[in-house]
Amino acid sequence: MKPSMHPRPSRRQGGIALLEAMLAIVILGIGLLGTIGLQARAYSALSDASLRAEATLAGEKLLGVMNADSNNVLNYGVIEGGAATAAAQPWVNETQAAIPGAIIAVTVTPQQLRVQVDISIKWKRKAGGVTNQHLVTSYIAI
């Protein structure tokens, strides 16, 4: 009887390839879940940044309008969560359309040769989330 050229693998190593494949699948699955989690967090951060940018643009727009209408600058007050003056109402409507659920306050404080304007825009990205606030203080010469 002639000895075989290819010895038969021992029984102890049977199924090792299947075990290696299963382990690779588990490691790949963990990596994919981590990637999906990072993607969700990145989307959340992008949404927050978008709302911050909208708040910045809204504040700068109101300051520009007030500066152009400096004779009537005292007419642009808005009570937080309440009514806006007729001069500020179009801006409030536009801002609340850009930032859903925004709580807006504009305080106009006359001083000697200038007016201090404090603009506060608050919002929550999702229900029960953290309240974000954008606060701008500026001075307009009168």
Q: pLDDT (tens digit, 9 = 90+) per residue, 75-127?
A: 999 999 888 999 999 999 999 999 988 999 999 999 989 999 999 999 988 77
Confirm whether 97 is domain-assigned.
yes
pLDDT of residue 125: 80
Confirm whether 8 is domain-assigned.
no
105 close to 93: Cβ distance less than 8 angstroms: no
pLDDT of residue 9: 57
Domain that holds residue 71: 16-141
% of residues, the chain, pLDDT over 90:
61
pTM confidence score: 0.71
Confirm whether 70 is domain-assigned.
yes
Place of tokens 């994919």: 32
Q: In what order do the strands lie in the sheet with 103-110?
A: 103-110, 114-124, 131-141
Confirm whether 2 is domain-assigned.
no
Confirm whether 57 is domain-assigned.
yes
| Cα angle 41-45-49, degrees, rounded to a multiple of 5 | 170
Q: How many domains does the chain have?
A: 1
